[in-house]
Structure 1
Amino acid sequence: MIEFQCTVQEGCIPGTLRSELAHAIECCCREVLGMEQGPVTVSWVAIPKGFGFRGGHPSTTSLVRGKIPDGCDKGTRSELMKRIGDEWCRITGAKKDELIVSARDISWAG
């Protein structure tokens, strides 16, 4: 199973884009990791306006945190994160410095 949690700042990423973003994340996972890795789930957390700050100013940064199958090599992991980031920015119009993408092994407990 592959799981992604998307944390967005309220008002920065329209809710109407969530299904398109989830589909793009799923497609990136299938293309890079393969179909045999199991289902992809995407969940959402919205940080209320005024609760997220970066550099002393209201944040516009989104965080896409993934749990992927154990043992993924560095090149594959990097390719997955790059594709997800590219799709996110294409769909939302966000700048690359407004997005953090991570993908850790599902068994990592740190």
Structure 2
Amino acid sequence: MSLRISEAVIWQETGEGVSLYHTETGDFHSLNDTGSRIWKLVASDGECEPVMFKLSREFAGSNSAMSRQIVADVRDFIGAMIEQGLIEEVPSEKAEKAVT
């Protein structure tokens, strides 16, 4: 799954993390360090799986139980951001190339 930050979201890095403003709903959000790291990886990478596994390697190393928990937590975080309209799912380039 490919991801992108919604065009309706204005965001900025702050001293405490990332602040988000959804221009259509008027909602403000402040992300902690971990949420900010996920947000910035989505903004720069755009692919869900690499984001999950980068964070898993970064924080869990070779601890497989911790790695599974991190992957699940990142998946939940991204799902919540999608539900709130902050992140959008888009067709991945790989899927588009396979269809054409």
Scaled by the length of structure 2, the TM-score of the pair is: 0.36
Higher helix share goes to which structure?
2
Higher strand share goes to which structure?
1
Scaled by the length of structure 1, the TM-score of the pair is: 0.34
> Which of structures 1 and 2 has the larger relative contact order (alpha carbons within 8 angstroms, sep 6+)?
1
